[in-house]
Structure 1
Amino acid sequence: MAVEKDPIASFYSENAVTYAASSAPSMRHLDGFLSKLAPGAAILELGCGSGRDSAVMIARGFDVSPTDGTPEMAEEASKHLGRPVGVLRFGDVEAVSAFDGVWANACLLHAPRAELGGILGRIHRALRPGGIFYASFKAGEAEGHDGFGRYFNYPSKAWLGAAYEVFAWTSIDIDEEQGSGYDGKPTDWLHVLAVKA
């Protein structure tokens, strides 16, 4: 019996070089995230893609652990950063109180809705008390696929807020913003910044 390949993993495996070359850091959100952390803070980056955001954080003196769920993408990031990048899928985060911050820019939007709560729980557990967690999502009302066949969970602000509120945070801020993505199409984004209690 043939094993069905994950279409999201396939997309990033097959397009790793092109995708890595096309990406640029989201500085406004990255600056806001980093401003809440102490110098040298330990940061886990999930879905690091090309490594562009980790490069900024490393240059600013933070202790960064860049990871990606796709081996080919992690390899591209390793070349860019000049250091090893771990292969880590969201559901495999096992760390406990190990990080001051978790940066998950435009990656958790691929997590199936049914699995997102468990993933948020793993991230919450990986953070130290007072830890900062940033993630961004393409907004919508129902999960679906884009023109490249990639799955997106497309949450509404209310749905996403409810998913976060299961865990103990001192604050959960969700900002709405219009932008675009890899496909170049206009996109409504949700940017979440949460602080662990």
Structure 2
Amino acid sequence: MTKSETNDTLAFYRDNAATYAARERKPPTARLEAFMRRLSPGAAVLDLGCGGGHDSLIFLEHGFDVTACDGSADLAREAELRIGRKVEVTRFQEIVWEERFDGIWAEASLLHVPRTELADVLTRIRRTLKPGGFLQASFKAGETEGHDRFGRYFNYPSADWLGACFKHAGWPEVDISDADGGGYDGEPTRWLHVSARRAA
């Protein structure tokens, strides 16, 4: 993805932050509950690419130590209004935390990482986890990178390609499932849901 394409994706979230954050959004309840069941009470959670902060709020309501971050400063401000606390503005390629989190929730966020940069980003994410910590992420499935009708970039991986990328980034345990669903664009979508664990 070129710098221009990166800017186009960020420009969408800048120009539509309030609308995007205020939309009616059905939370992924089953996956959220499964994620939280794997955590100890008060565990440190990173909501990576938190968007409008909807899921961060759920984690906070369940007593977790939540760090919320997003690459869009405008979305981060919307999330701050929802959760009542500071939201970090951090691009995936700038992650520098080390062994800080027990779990990372990346709901429909890493799908914007350029294919050529995804392995490096996944390596950075793995290092932010404590030994034995785990990541839950979701991607829009496909065969080649592209853009949606809003001009947003997506990496659109296949399950095989994505699994190989995780392995290349040093994740020893990776489970990928798929399911039909939708998204902000209202289009039918095949989703890949990834659960990956850092070595203990």
TM-score by length of 1: 0.96
Is the CA contact (8 Å cut-off) linking 2:43 and 2:65 kept in structure 1? yes
1:42-75 Cα offsets, whole Å, 9 max, x none, are 0111110110000000100000000110000000
Q: 1:161 is aligned with what amino acid?
A: G
Alignment of structure 1 residues 27-46 onto 2, 5 Å: 27-46=29-48
The answer to whether 1:19 aligns with 2:20 is: yes
Equivalent positions of 1:86-97 (< 5 A) are: 86-97=88-99
Q: Specify which of 120, 123, 126 is matched with residue 125 of structure 2.
A: 123
Q: Distance in 2 between matches of 1:70 and 1:181?
A: 19
CA spacing shift, 1:148–1:113, aligned 2, 3 Å: same
Misfit runs of 4+, over 3 Å: 167-170
How many percent identity over aligned positions? 51
> 2:45 is matched by which residue type in structure 1?
I
| Conserved? CA contact 1:174–1:193, under 8 Å | yes
In structure 2, what residue type is equivalent to 1:195? R
Give 5+ residue unaligned stretches, structure 2. Answer: none
CA RMSD of aligned residues (A): 1.3
- Deviation of the 1:170 alpha carbon: 4.5
Name 1:99's counterpart in structure 2: 101
Gap regions ≥5 residues in structure 1: none
Q: Distance in 2 between matches of 1:25 and 1:48?
A: 13
Deviations along 1:71-111, whole A, 9 cap, x unmatched?
00000000011111110110111011111011110010000
1:152 alignment counterpart: 154
Equivalent-residue separation in structure 2 for 1:148 and 1:156 (angstroms): 22
Which secondary structure state, in structure 2, belongs to the residue aligned with residue 118 of structure 1?
Answer: helix
The equivalent of 2:179 in structure 1 is 177
Separation of aligned partners in 2, 1:129 and 1:170: 12
Give SS of 2:55's match.
helix
Counterpart secondary structure, 1:185? coil
- Distance in 2, matches of 1:170 and 1:142, equals 25
Are the aligned partners of 2:99 and 2:127 in contact in 1 as well (CA < 8 Å)? yes
Amino acid at match of 1:191: H
Aligned residue in 2 for 1:9 = 10
Q: Given that residues 49 and 77 in structure 1 are in contact (C-alpha distance below 8 angstroms), is that contact kept between their aligned partners in structure 2?
A: yes
Contact preservation (8 Å) 1:12, 1:73? yes
Number of equivalences: 195
* Distance in 2 of aligned mates of 1:84 and 1:96: 20
Distance 2:172 2:39 in 1: 15
